[in-house]
Chain A
Amino acid sequence: MFAQASWDSIGRRPVRFLSSPAPWRALSYLGASWVVGAVVVVTVTSVVAVGVATWETSVGPAFTASLGLVALACMAIAAAPFERWRLRLIGAPLAAPERSGGVRARLREPAGRREFGYALVSLLALWWVDLGIASVALVIPGLLISAPLQPTAPLWMAVVLPLVGVVLLPVALFLIAAWAGVRATMTRAVLSPREAELIEVVRSRARLVDAFETERRRIERDLHDGAQQRLVALSMKLGLASLDLPPGSPAARQVREAHEMARAALSDLRELIRGVHPHVLTERGLPAAVRDIAGRSPIPVDVDVELAGRLPTAVEVTAYFVVCEALTNVAKHSGAQRCAVRGRVADGLLALEVRDGGAGGADPEAGTGLTGLVDRLAVLDGRMLLSSPIGGPTLLRVEIPCPASE
């Protein structure tokens, strides 16, 4: 991952870059290496001084060596938080990892060992490089600009060299910002938690989706067993009442209207329930559910979904919503006359394809629908591939790992 702020600013037009705070932030970021350098130099000097003073005594060398190691360890422990802190100077903050236990525990984790190693490199080498690049980049234009101050400089040099220096100054700032960008990128790459360390987060997201799905089912059942039954009973009562009323009477008309309303409410409710959770999916599995959606689609859909058995529930639900969304998009946007859904499981991977011969130009960035699908798929480690050139045809392919069927 790049330290975006610094890199992006370099990509801007030079004038905008130079008038922005970016060069100064980069300079302050590299300049912070003075602190590291000062600490290192003072510590090394002190240790050497102690060493020289005590070398002749019996415990001297051992004492100096342990003092040196302790000092190095202290600096290494402090260096990583410092590196993390100074990323803010360049506008690329990195959250500190959650500490679990003390230094020993940290060193047992890969992230902790990485952090320690990077701290050592930073103490031994990187601060030199930072200061070296910043100094060289600034000192050369500085010297050129100060040429007229040299008593021995001939007139032409006193005129030309400062001009060259002024031209080189922005170049120096670019160089500084570029190195600061590289340096920050490196720091982030080493100090960010790795993907494997993020698994727990993904798992909790999956649990959240599961909980959401369970809740949807509960709502669906409640609507079926509660509201829908009551409305059917109401509708039946109204129907019976209208039988006993004299036809054409005002009361009969009112009851008939009420009956119509109850009927419309039932029909709305039925659609609502289907949207909350597709019953056919739970009971008959993905192929039947896909046929069911295809049957409702305003344009003809050729369904070819063949699976050996039931898939894990999460996979079925996600695949179902993918097909729903895809067919809705085809009907709404593509202008296609026909489309096809194909689904197969091979090598533990469910591959679903929705293909249409419409106008193409589907853009995942444009709407929330496709983005939502990508998010849902991410929970299951699935991925979405889309080919939709302007003028068509469009092919949406979704792959979801499904290790073992339930």
Chain B
Amino acid sequence: MNSNKTKTSEEQIAYANVLNVAMWTGLSILVVTFIVYLSGVLPTFIPIEDMPKYWGMASKDFIHHFQAPTGWGWLAMVGKGDYLTFVGIALLAGLTVLCYLVILPILMRKKDIPYVVIAIFEVAVLVLAASGILKSGGH
């Protein structure tokens, strides 16, 4: 058996390492911030005990009713327990971009042009999705 043949590529190892650290960091922050939210240490935008009255509403109605933030508006409200939890949620949603940014220099160094282009396009797609520019229109 030639162990070189089954060797995992450098960029794949780099992606895995960053993903591993970032994922556990994101999950830990998510759990800790959620405990803070449940504990009531911080004030909340919507009282937690009132949530059963509202979680059956369509998201558009929910946003409209509470004038709740959309896009990155939650960042201005991280002092509220419910929106603090969004830090962990956004981290989980954002770490794929981080992984791509880590492998991009490796792909460039290897002059792997097709994959450099694919990685740049993927970062652009994820940043566009995260930007809040795209709107669904609503039902």
Asked if chains A and B come from one complex, the reply is no
